[in-house]
Amino acid sequence: MRVLVALVALVAVAVAAAGPARADPSPDDGRLDWPLRPRPAVVRTFDAPTPKWQRGHRGVDLAATAGQPVYAAQAGTVVFAGDLAGRPLVSIAHPGGLRTSYEPVSPSVRSGQLVHTGTVVGEVVAGHAGCARAACLHWGAMWGPASRADYVDPLGLLAGTPVRLLPLRP
């Protein structure tokens, strides 16, 4: 019971500190924007492995076309742009410890470059393994250092995803 009371108090403090709710959250409030325009279909969903070193799908695959521009989902610093294990990839570090990755993407940015939300970071390359279409963008999100990263579903971090507290059941 004490834990529940403490949790409710923490949520109340966080809500009060955040100020009034906005009707439509934007990427400026820490949420992500879609990396493709228009909003793409999700071809394959996030499937976190348990434990985290086992097989799984550590991101989402979005329907795309070869040559389609890929946009930074949030402002940050490009930490990698090039080939990794034979696949072209872009990775961006965002404030607060979040990193997003985009593959297969032929980069138009370089490591160390600052990007804003919506900056074109490259183009989709056809042939993503495991994709049911001719071209897909594999979009990943992770918290923490690369060696101990906790992968999260990027769809849950989108600006258009409402956050709701569910009632507790006795």
51 located within any domain: yes
Distances (CA, A) of 81 to 37, 90, 144, 161: 21, 4, 19, 28
Tell me what pLDDT residue 163 has: 60
In sign, the C-alpha dihedral spanning 150, 52, 146, 68 is negative
pLDDT in tens, 88-114: 999 999 999 999 999 999 999 999 999
Q: Would the pTM of this model clear 0.85, i.e. be above it?
A: no
C-alpha 36, offset from chain centre: 12
Q: Which domain covers residue 83, as residue numbers?
A: 25-157
Q: Please report the pLDDT score of residue 134 as a whole number.
A: 82
Token readout for 63 is 């329907």
Please, which pLDDT band fits residue 58 given cuts at 50, 70 and 90?
confident
Instruction: Report yes or no on 139 lying in a domain.
Output: yes
What's the mean pLDDT in 138-156?
86
The partner residues of 137 in beta bridges, in order of sequence, read 62
42 beta partners = 62
* Residue 30 domain flag: yes
* pLDDT tens digits, 123-132: 999 977 777 7
Give the rounded percent of residues in the chain with a pLDDT score beyond 90.
50
- 12 inside domain: no
Q: Which of 73, 88, 82 is nearest to 141 (CA)?
A: 73
- What's the pLDDT at 162? 60
How far is residue 169's CA from residue 135's CA, in Å, rounded to a whole number?
44
What pLDDT is recorded for position 148?
78
Report the distance separating Cα 113 and Cα 57, nearest Å. 28
Residue 150 has pLDDT above 90, yes or no: no
Please tell me the total count of domains within the chain: 1
Region 137-157 average pLDDT: 87
CATH number of the domain encompassing residue 127:
2.70.70.10
Write down the pLDDT at residue 160: 73
